[in-house]
Amino acid sequence: MIIGGGEDRTDDKEVLQKFIALAGGVTQPIIVITAASKVPEDVWAMYETAFAALGVENVTHVSISSRAEADDDMLAHKVAQARGVFMTGGDQKRLVTFLGGTQLERAMRRAYSDNGACIAGTSAGASGMCTHMLAEGRADLAPEKGAVRLGAGLGFVSRVIIDQHFSQRHRLNRLLSAIAQSPFLLGAGIDEDTALIVQGGGIEVAGHGSVTVVDCRQSETNIADVAAGAVPQMLDVRLHLLPSGSRFSSADDAGPLADFIHYLTDRTLEHEHR
The pTM (predicted TM-score) of the whole model is 0.95
Whether residue 257 lies inside any domain: the answer is no
Question: Mean pLDDT over residues 46-54, rounded?
Answer: 98
Question: Mean pLDDT over residues 14-29, rounded?
Answer: 98
- Answer yes or no: do 98 and 147 share one domain: no
Whether residue 214 lies inside any domain: the answer is yes
User: What 3-state DSSP class applies to 67?
Assistant: helix
- Final residue of a structural domain among 97, 122, 147: 122
Give the CATH number, domain containing residue 29: 3.40.50.880
The yes-or-no answer on residue 63 being catalytic is no
The yes-or-no answer on residue 77 being catalytic is no
Whether residue 250 lies inside any domain: the answer is no
- Answer yes or no: do 49 and 172 share one domain: no
Which pLDDT tens digit goes with each residue over 100-129?
999 999 999 999 999 999 999 999 999 999
Q: How far apart are CA 235 and CA 216, in angstroms?
A: 9
Residue 176 has pLDDT above 50, yes or no: yes
Which pLDDT tens digit goes with each residue over 194-220?
999 999 899 999 999 999 999 999 999
Q: How far apart are CA 79 and CA 111, in angstroms?
A: 7
Whether residue 80 lies inside any domain: the answer is yes
Which pLDDT tens digit goes with each residue over 233-255?
999 999 999 999 999 998 777 78
Residue 274 has pLDDT above 60, yes or no: no
What is the number of structural domains in the chain? 2
Residue 270 confidence (pLDDT): 52
Whether residue 96 lies inside any domain: the answer is yes
**pLDDT band for position 259 (50/70/90)?**
very high
List C-alpha distances in Å: 103 to 75, 81, 98, 106.
9, 13, 11, 5
In which domain, by residue range, is 172 found? 130-199+208-244+262-274
Whether residue 249 lies inside any domain: the answer is no
- Answer yes or no: do 140 and 268 share one domain: yes
Q: How far apart are CA 81 and CA 236, in angstroms?
A: 47
Q: Give the DSSP letter of residue 144.
A: -
Catalytic residue among 123, 127, 177, 219: 123
User: What 3-state DSSP class applies to 204?
Assistant: strand
CB 239 within 8 Å of CB 214:
yes
Percent with pLDDT over 90 in the chain: 92
- Final residue of a structural domain among 88, 122, 156: 122
The yes-or-no answer on residue 123 being catalytic is yes
Residue 254 confidence (pLDDT): 76
Catalytic residue among 37, 105, 158, 165: 165
Whether residue 227 lies inside any domain: the answer is yes
Catalytic residue among 132, 192, 210, 219: 192
- Answer yes or no: do 181 and 96 share one domain: no
- Answer yes or no: do 63 and 4 share one domain: yes
- Final residue of a structural domain among 90, 122, 154: 122
